[in-house]
Structure 1
Amino acid sequence: MADNSLAVCLAEIKANPGRFYVYVLSRPSGEAFYIGCAVASVGRRWHRICDHEMFAKRGEQSLRASIIRKLLSDGYEVAYSIDSWHDDKEAMFAREMELIAGLGRRDLGIGPLANGNDGGTGAVGLSAATVAKMKRINKEMWTPERREAARQRAIVQMADPDRRAKQRDIARKFFADPENKKRFGAQMRELANVPERKAARMAIFSKVLNDPEKQAARNRKRAERMRDAKVRAAISESVKALWDDPEFRERGVKNLAEMNRKAWSNPDSREKHKAAQKARREREKAARQ
């Protein structure tokens, strides 16, 4: 098997879960025509490096896809290679930008690369027209029918006990490494602080809270889950472990204090709390009689 095959790259990706990498797509001659970067996602069968041939075969309209289709139609294969591995995305982005700047972009007339931007975050150097085109293509691609089909596939896949068990085993092995756990936590905290993601989460949460049926279903599922002694014990141990971490404890105390301050500064919240306390006292009084 050639060292520049996709299979070799995927084996290397699988052996480095959670780490960041920069990869190169090349012609058979060895000339690079695309630089990309991604994270070796845990438990995934499909990775970013696999996307390009798939999209090209589906008819994606881009310089990169055109090059791939031409190579395949001429009987050649795309050459794949992992350029470098990194422990954080900043280093990964820096290396991607370094390679793109060094080799040069074809759309700017200064090199062979089909990259449409300068690298870094996937959006550096994009023109307004390119951004609009990407949004349009994405909107056209994810039709309601396609979203529903993807949802149904996910439901079927996760209904398989063996698949769920395999996913759990992969996750346990990954999080058994303190460095992986720390890196993953940092990534999740960073994502959680993105304003757009915060707003989207709050919109979904508000929708559930404002729907009595969804709220009732949510409460039933939670109650059913909490009847399991093993689940309660696991949650208890997890919470204890979190609060044993000084950094988490300090952050948690600050967050709770801020939440309480906001809640008690809201007149509606105060009135709601008073009403709940009054109702509780009345129930207790009735129970004693």
Structure 2
Amino acid sequence: MSVASLGYIGFAVSDLEAWKTYGGQVLGMMPIEGPDEGLRFRIDDHAWRIAVQAGEADDIAFAGFEVSDAAALDAVSASLVAHDIPFTPASPEQLAERQVTGLISCQDPEGLAIEIYYGPTLRTEKPFVSPAGVSGFITGEQGLGHIVLTTSDIAAAKRFYCEALGFALSDIIRMALSPEFAIDLEFFHCNRRHHTLALVPLPFPAPKRMHHFMVQTRTLDEVGFALDRLERAKGTLVQTLGRHTNDQMVSFYARTPSGFEVEYGQGAVEVDAATWRVARHDKMSSWGHKRVG
């Protein structure tokens, strides 16, 4: 039993107009109207992948993980029961708002709203068109991309995401914060994407749960064009172009209007469950990814 992919994410943000410009003109996602005067973005044939709603947190508000069908949703429900995790079936109004066929909701150990669903609405009659000319993003069975969450209780987080939802460890990066102190960043997959989820353990509560989210383009040129758009928009580059040691993605990091980061990349390796072996890395990147400022 495992969830199949990261289907959608929602953010509570203090500046909807800034997000409309940033998401559309810089990241190249397709903005559409959301419920309650909110904003949503498309990156493929799904009706939406990212929701932006008014709120002061400037942080992730919910994450939706897709499963294949009603039987798979029942299997996740049974797993939640087995792990003593309460969940709530969605009302008809909630199903309509999320534009899905079936859904249950629960919370991770630190209170983040987690939704498990099947049957998303597709808009194949109205193809994705990027306002910035992006040719497309890598989604499909790999889902939206990945999210990296901070946690003050890594053991509880792994019990929830791995034991209850079925994520599997891809690899670990040991990050040295000082000569005397290091933390292990753990990366988890649920499909061929190298990681759909990563957890950053902290010895203290972080100001935000969301460290960053990632979208993956089809070509390296798309990443370069996005860097140029970021510069023209006077956006904030956080890490320069570089290649990660573990997933081999070439990417850059930028600060979103809400303060957390977005990774914009291309070319990651994929997981073959039959042959994949867990590894440890001592550096985040083979080259680049230099902190700016």
**TM-score, reference length from structure 2:** 0.23
Structure number with the bigger relative contact order (C-alpha 8 A, sep ≥ 6) is 2
Structure number with bigger Rg: 1
Higher helix proportion (structure 1 or 2): 1
Higher strand proportion (structure 1 or 2): 2
